[in-house]
Chains A and B, each alone.
Chain A
């Protein structure tokens, strides 16, 4: 398995890329400008594409190079473009209704990473992989998942909700590149295109929201209760 016999250079490269992806999630937590979120998401996707390529080269999975190119094109370019178009259409450049200050969200995000690490470490010990890169991969996976949920909870703008879901997806994708690089190619391809469909669907629904309700803030979606 890849995670067991990895030369030190590759291990450090993978770790570096995973940590950069994690830090980019904190950029999203710390900023109120929706466009910054999209740029950070795009950068994170490119980092993940680089990781796919690196895993493909070091682990001898040539098909991962295809995935890397598609990730860069779809996740790193097309999705951010679609999101920016939505933002421009709706003229919402700022998240106005956050529950917490950016500083508090950052601290909270830090705690979530800590929690993810504890969880990943304990899992690693039980699986006898505690001294490999698997722990870092699991930590990033869980941390991005939790940070994505945190963004969904704290932010009200519809675009922020889409971004939160995309961060969750990115976390899973990143972790799976390191943990299960051999996962069937078909599945990864389908998930990539699935993501595209989801974002287009979200885009259409956001426009309906804007047109029919005159708002895209989930705090004002209060007609249906009980």
Chain B
């Protein structure tokens, strides 16, 4: 049944991508895509309950479905569903692109398909391919509007990420080479076989391979200093694409980093590897804080917030231990939901005020009392204030850090989270309470633009008010499986 559900997800999403491409009419395409998103969400929810945390393999050991992979898929499915609803309203505003909208939905579904494929790969090489394919498909989505800025962003995105992924491929090959000293010249390349060879391998080679993989996938995760593509791609794509990039794609790449980290457990360099991740996470927070406080473009503000949150997640996994890992896992879901909310609101307001600049968006609450309030609540949530879910997960990561080998990073993280809180909300203060705009916005927001925001906010609020014991236990089981018990 588990496998049927996974294959069904792939088949439905692939069929949606194909049908949207062939669909003569954009209205039909948006319904097909939405249908796929609803089905995917249902199936992933089923998988969440049905999958044993240790995972099962199939298809000659090529596929693996485990608790961690399904958790990443669940974050992805939630964002895909919300973004598919939001896209219906948002993309109709783009009158110039009306004739190509079916292609947008086709690429959108294909993007989701590549991301559903990545977490289920049991072969690190095929995982690399899946991540590479996500880059290719999403580059077209980023450049969809064909404006000079979008094309520039798509170009920078694909060049930087491809160069980074080249490093990850080199790391993968070196890992395989390390295994040939133990298992002989030909063996199955799987996460499990890599984990089996790691303790018997010369630690210098192991560390070199891990650092290559960390920098490679770290580029895709958006960890500073390899994050430079991220603000461009997130800010220049259409808002539903920004949400998918930030809330879904970054997690899929983080999964690779964490799987490699799990491979190293019990080796001499496990501590060094964790510290390397902590250092990258800490640096990401610093870069995000510096750029958030001086930001002038609304979606870049949200994009640097993604760098920040990927830094928090990297810190959580880098701290390790049950608390750090559970906090990071919970943070993945909270961040996916809250960041979607922020991007949806930003998309609405950019369209309403016809500007990307924070300086031109003023007095949002006067003009949009309801959706403005939702957006503001999203901003409060994304900065990690109570009573929202991100507060709980960040606190858990901090607690994990105190028990870890790198307690200095706890202070670093706490101070920078406060700086980001002040800097981020200061930008929102300008947009909500500044002087009246010269040109008041004229726009009526429909249900499809506001409903996903309501759902996302309700979910983040619920996750923050009550951390269900069932979720905690589920995440603890995943953490134990990753060797962080």
Q: Complex formed: what's the CA distance from A187 to B127 in Å?
A: 10
Interface check B136, CB cutoff 8 A: yes
B132 to chain A, nearest CB (A): 6
Closest to B137 in A: A201
B163 pairs with A198, CB closer than 8 A: no
Taking the complex as formed, is A10 at the interface, i.e. its CB lies under 8 A from any CB of chain B? no
Residues A1 and B185 in contact in the complex (CB < 8 Å), given A148-B166, A226-B300: yes
Given known contacts A182-B186, A221-B156, A208 and B129 CB-to-CB distance under 8 angstroms: no
Among listed B201-209, B275-283, B376-384, B405-413, interface-contacting one: B201-209
Are A2 and B185 in contact (CB-based, < 8 A)? yes
Q: Is the CB of B204 within 8 A of A126?
A: yes
Q: How far, in angstroms, from A143 to B202 measured CA to CA in the complex?
A: 22
Most buried by A among B125, B167, B231: B125
A204 closest partner in B (C-beta): B140
- Cα A166 to Cα B188 with chains together (Å): 27
Asked if residues B129 and A179 are in contact (CB atoms below 8 Å), the reply is no
Of A149, A190, A202, A212, the contact of B129 (CB 8 Å cutoff)? A190
Chain B residues with CB below 8 A from A209, complex form: 151-152, 155
Q: Which residues on A sit within 8 Å (CB–CB) of B296?
A: 226
A126 touches B202 (CB 8 A): yes
Judged by a CB distance under 8 angstroms, whether B173 is at the interface is yes
Which of A186, A187, A208 makes the CB contact (< 8 A) with B151? A208
A169 touches B153 (CB 8 A): no
Is B35 at the interface (CB under 8 A from chain A)? no
Q: Which residues of chain B from 180 to 205 have a CB within 8 Å of any chain A CB?
A: 180-181, 184-189, 202, 204-205
Interface residue B232 (Cβ < 8 Å from any Cβ of A) = yes
Which residues 186-211 in A have Cβ within 8 Å of B in the complex?
Answer: 186-187, 190-191, 194, 197-198, 201-202, 205-206, 208-209
Contact in complex: A182, B147 (CB < 8 Å): no
Interface string of A157-190 (1 = CB under 8 A from B): 0100100110011001001100111111011001
Contact A165 B162 (CB under 8 A): yes
Could you tell me the distance between the alpha carbons of A141 and B300 in the complex, rounded to whole angstroms? 37
B139 within 8 A of A: yes
State A121–B143 Cα separation when bound (angstroms).
44
Q: Does A91 contact B (CB under 8 A)?
A: no
B170 at interface (Cβ–Cβ under 8 A)? yes
Q: Is A145 an interface residue (CB 8 A)?
A: yes
Closest chain A CB from B3 CB (angstroms): 20
List of A residues within 8 angstroms of B169 by Cβ: 169, 172, 191
Q: How far is the CA of A146 from the CA of B185 in the complex (A)?
A: 27
Cβ of B217 to closest chain A Cβ, rounded Å: 16
A161 to B162 CA separation, bound complex (whole angstroms): 11
Check: A69 CB closer than 8 A to any chain B CB: no
Once the chains bind, are A197 and B136 in contact (CB under 8 Å)?
A: yes
Q: How many residues in A have their beta carbons less than 8 Å from beta carbons of B? A: 46
- B155 contacts across to A, CB distance below 8 A: 158, 205-206, 209, 218, 221
Which residues between 339 and 356 of chain B lie within 8 Å of chain A, taking CB atoms?
A: none
Contacts of B100 in A (CB 8 A): none
Do residues B163 and A224 form an inter-chain contact, with CB atoms below 8 A?
A: no
| A148 to B184 alpha-carbon distance, docked (Å) | 31
Pair B136/A190 contact, Cβ less than 8 Å: no
Docked complex Cα distance between A209 and B155 (Å): 8
B146 in contact (CB, < 8 A): yes
Q: How far is the CB of B242 from chain A (nearest CB, A)?
A: 14
Contacts of A183 in B (CB 8 A): 125, 173, 176, 189
Q: Collect the chain B residues with CB atoms within 8 Å of residue A165's CB.
A: 159, 162-163, 166
Interface check A223, CB cutoff 8 A: yes
CB-based contact A141/B205 at 8 Å: no
Question: When chains A and B are docked, how far (Å) is the Cα of A207 from the Cα of B350?
Answer: 28
- List B contacts of A212 (CB < 8 A): 146-148, 151
Q: Which of B263-308 contact A (CB under 8 A)?
A: 291, 294-297, 300
Given A126-B202, A127-B202, check contact A226 B189 (CB 8 Å). Answer: no
With contacts A224-B152, A226-B291 taken as known, whether A194 is within 8 angstroms of B189 at the C-beta atoms is: no
Q: A183-B189, A205-B139, A212-B146 are in contact. Are A123 and B166 (CB under 8 A)?
A: no
Contacts of A202 in B (CB 8 A): 158
Contacts of A123 in B (CB 8 A): 204-205, 208
Contact B295 A226 (CB under 8 A): yes
Q: Report chain B residues within 8 Å CB of A149.
A: 163
Pair A223/B149 contact, Cβ less than 8 Å: yes
A residues bordering B, Cβ < 8 Å? 1-2, 122-123, 126-127, 141, 145, 148-149, 152, 158, 161, 164-165, 168-169, 172, 175-176, 179-184, 186-187, 190-191, 194, 197-198, 201-202, 205-206, 208-209, 212-213, 218, 221, 223-224, 226
The 4 closest A-B pairs by CB, nearest first: A182-B186, A182-B185, A187-B125, A168-B166
Interface residues of B, Cβ cutoff 8 Å to A: 123, 125-126, 129, 132-133, 136, 139-140, 143, 146-149, 151-156, 158-159, 162-163, 166-167, 169-170, 173, 176-177, 180-181, 184-189, 202, 204-205, 208, 231-232, 235-236, 291, 294-297, 300
Q: What are 14 A-B pairs at a CB distance below 8 A?
A: A1-B184, A126-B202, A165-B159, A169-B166, A172-B169, A175-B173, A183-B176, A190-B129, A201-B140, A202-B158, A205-B158, A208-B154, A224-B153, A226-B300
**Other than the known A126-B205, A194-B129, A226-B296, what 11 A-B pairs have Cβ atoms closer than 8 Å?**
A172-B169, A180-B185, A182-B186, A191-B125, A198-B136, A205-B154, A212-B147, A212-B148, A213-B148, A218-B155, A221-B155
